[in-house]
């Protein structure tokens, strides 16, 4: 049974709803590797080193500082740092209700599930129903762990999700990037729309997708645990390819030939011991296959 990491209350107007907060993501699903001493197999420990004194120091010799100029720091004590922190009120104070389309997903950060605490069931259900009925999300401020967060409360099923947002100054300006000066032709747009409609779906079904890379890594880790040798193919990074846009769109729609590519084919991958999920072809068979592929390209 998941445990809440915090409790608080939603406040808007004279209404207060006691709630509990739960993490919406599973940290245990992340794959992580530790630094190990190869000679003895022990996990290494990181030490604090002062390059000026050229010695290892203890943690009680350290202080936190802010770099206000290159190589120049102003130091702060623990008491001063605590004095700067936002006082945690555990109150999620709603400031306004916005159309859900008004908030671009680029602002989305961490998501947390929200459930009613004792005595808050009825008011919680009422707020969730009101968000669904109006098609609006509640924008709120939330102070916790010494910081103030900008969050939205949005409905999900029968419940409410508290979605933490980035502040505007944390979002990089898209206008600072070079998007080129290409002009889209009407004929290209028409075919691109047709291609999009061919792959269109009305529902998002995340259960149809898996992190295939993570699955492969877990499989390879298990093989390593079982004492098996790991083999994999390391291919060259694919080079950028210049293609005819119209020909590519026609081919994607099934109404044209495969567009010719200007880049040279990538070199054959080299085999390096790391860990294989399936048996590899003998070297001779692999060379024969590569030779046939080269012959086919030469006859095109």
Residues whose CB falls within 8 Å of the CB of residue 216, separated by 6 or more in sequence, listed in order: 277
Contact 149, 164 (CB under 8 A): yes
Q: What is the per-residue DSSP string for 80-141?
A: HHHHHSPPP--EEEEEEEEEGGGS-GGGEEEEEEEEE-TT-HHHHHHHHHHHHHHTEEEEEE
Taking alpha carbons only, the member of 114, 162, 166 closest to residue 138 is 162
pLDDT at site 262: 45
CATH architecture of residue range(s) 1-34+46-171: Beta Barrel (2.40)
User: To the nearest 10°, the Cα dihedral for 74, 80, 85, 86?
Assistant: -130
Report residue 106 as tokens: 């680029």
Q: What single DSSP character describes residue 256?
A: S
Contact 63, 115 (CB under 8 A): no
User: To the nearest 10°, the Cα dihedral for 51, 56, 57, 63?
Assistant: 30
User: To the nearest 10°, the Cα dihedral for 180, 175, 100, 102?
Assistant: -120
Taking alpha carbons only, the member of 206, 272, 279, 195 closest to residue 234 is 272
SS3 46: coil
Helix axes 245-252 and 186-198, enclosed angle (nearest 10)? 30
pLDDT at site 300: 42
pLDDT at site 130: 94
DSSP H/E element including 151: strand 147-156
DSSP H/E element including 131: helix 121-134
SS3 254: coil
Residues whose CB falls within 8 Å of the CB of residue 223, separated by 6 or more in sequence, listed in order: 230, 275, 277
Walking along the chain (300 residues) 10 residues at a time, the average pLDDT comes out as 86 87 79 89 91 91 92 90 77 93 93 94 94 96 86 95 94 87 88 85 84 84 84 63 68 64 46 45 43 44
Report residue 243 as tokens: 């293609």
pLDDT at site 127: 94
The CA distance from 245 to 251, in Å, is: 10
Give residue limits of the domains in the chain.
1-34+46-171
Contact 5, 21 (CB under 8 A): yes
pTM of the model: 0.63
């Amino acid at each position: 049974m998941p445990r809440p990491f915090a409790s608080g209350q939603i406040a808007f107007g004279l209404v207060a709803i006691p709630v509990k907060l739960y993490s919406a993501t599973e940290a245990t699903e992340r794959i992580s590797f530790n630094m190990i001493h190869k000679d003895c197999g022990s996990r290494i420990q990181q030490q604090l080193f002062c390059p000026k004194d050229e010695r290892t120091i203890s943690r009680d010799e350290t202080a936190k500082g802010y770099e206000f100029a290159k190589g120049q720091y102003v130091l702060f004590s623990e008491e001063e740092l605590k004095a700067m922190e936002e006082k945690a009120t555990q109150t999620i104070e709603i400031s306004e209700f916005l159309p859900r389309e008004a908030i671009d997903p680029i602002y989305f950060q961490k998501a947390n599930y929200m459930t009613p605490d004792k005595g808050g069931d009825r008011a919680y259900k009422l707020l969730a129903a009101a968000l669904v009925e109006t098609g609006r999300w509640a924008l709120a401020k939330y102070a916790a762990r010494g910081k103030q967060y900008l969050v939205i409360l949005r409905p999900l099923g029968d419940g409410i999700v508290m979605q933490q947002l980035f502040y505007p100054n944390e979002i990089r300006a898209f206008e600072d990037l070079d998007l080129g000066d290409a002009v889209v032709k009407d004929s290209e747009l028409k075919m691109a729309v047709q291609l999009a409609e061919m792959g269109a779906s009305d529902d998002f079904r995340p259960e149809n997708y898996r992190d295939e890379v993570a699955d492969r890594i877990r499989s390879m880790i298990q093989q390593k645990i079982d004492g098996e040798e790991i083999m994999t193919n390391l291919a060259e990074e694919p080079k950028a390819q210049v293609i005819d846009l119209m020909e590519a769109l026609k081919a994607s729609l099934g109404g044209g030939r495969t567009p010719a590519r200007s880049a040279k084919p990538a070199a054959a991958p080299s085999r390096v011991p790391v860990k294989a999920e399936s048996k590899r072809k003998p070297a001779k068979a692999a060379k024969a296959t590569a030779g046939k592929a080269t012959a086919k390209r030469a006859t095109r």
